[in-house]
Amino acid sequence: MLAGMDNLTITVGDVTRTLPTVRVGNLGRVPLVEFIGDSELTKAAAQAMLPLIPDGTELLLSVVTNALPLVHELSDRSGLPYVVARKKRRTYMQDPLIQQVPSMTLGVGETLWLDGPHAERLRGKQVAVVQDVVASGGTAQALSRLVDRAGGQVSGYLAAFKQGETELPLHYLQDLPRRL
């Protein structure tokens, strides 16, 4: 076990972090970005992402959990409101929109839940889809479908990091290798 070796260092604004790597199945070691628990990195990434927000955007849409501090901070700095889809049904939801995430593998896909009152906020709006890390783009596609179904229009796709290949027209800060 070579934990701690071959780590990756990233710099966002004036914040530098050495990313831990984790062994995932047989894929080798994968660098891990965690915004949760790191308000400095979160603020630096939100600040750097501000210019990536497409003109005309009226609202940000994201999904739990890892992107939450980032989208909160981006909302605060841009002045744009934000809405977040959940990954499970909450007891309090009213008429939620339910959207499958297309799976790249044959495994069980995730499901996104967007509470009805929050879906209402998307209607007629230009909505930017915001994530922390985009890999295949499947989650972004599911969020895009939620925007359509809620009566909004996707203004663009934003992420702090792209980790892998996606055909999504993604605005992002940095590439991350899928494995080291």
Q: Which residues of the shown chain bind a second copy in the complex (CB under 8 A)?
A: 3, 20, 22, 24, 30, 32, 36-37, 39, 42-43, 64-65, 68-69, 72-73, 75-76, 81-84, 86, 91-92, 94, 117-118
Are 160 and 173 spatial neighbours (Cβ–Cβ below 8 Å)? yes
Cβ-based nearer residue to a second copy, 163 or 168? 163
**Least Å distance between CB 41 and a second copy?**
11
Tokens of 54: 């497409």
d(CA 20, CA 32): 6
User: Smallest gap, in angstroms, from Cβ of residue 29 to a second copy?
Assistant: 10
Give the residue with the Cβ less far from a second copy, 48 or 64.
Answer: 64
Taking the C-alpha atoms of residue 103 and residue 2, their distance in angstroms, rounded to an integer, is 31
Q: Which helix (H) or strand (E) holds 159?
A: strand 153-162
> Which CB atom, from 82 or from 157, has the smaller least distance to a second copy?
82
Q: What residue type is assigned to position 130 of the chain?
A: V
Q: CB nearer to a second copy: give 22 or 98.
A: 22
CB of 167 to a second copy, least distance (A): 25
- Give the shortest CB-155-to-a second copy separation in angstroms: 18
Question: Among residues 39 and 100, whose Cβ is nearest to a second copy?
Answer: 39
Which CA distances in Å does 166 have to 67, 140, 147, 157?
Answer: 19, 10, 20, 12
User: Nearest approach, Cβ of 30 to a second copy (angstroms)?
Assistant: 8
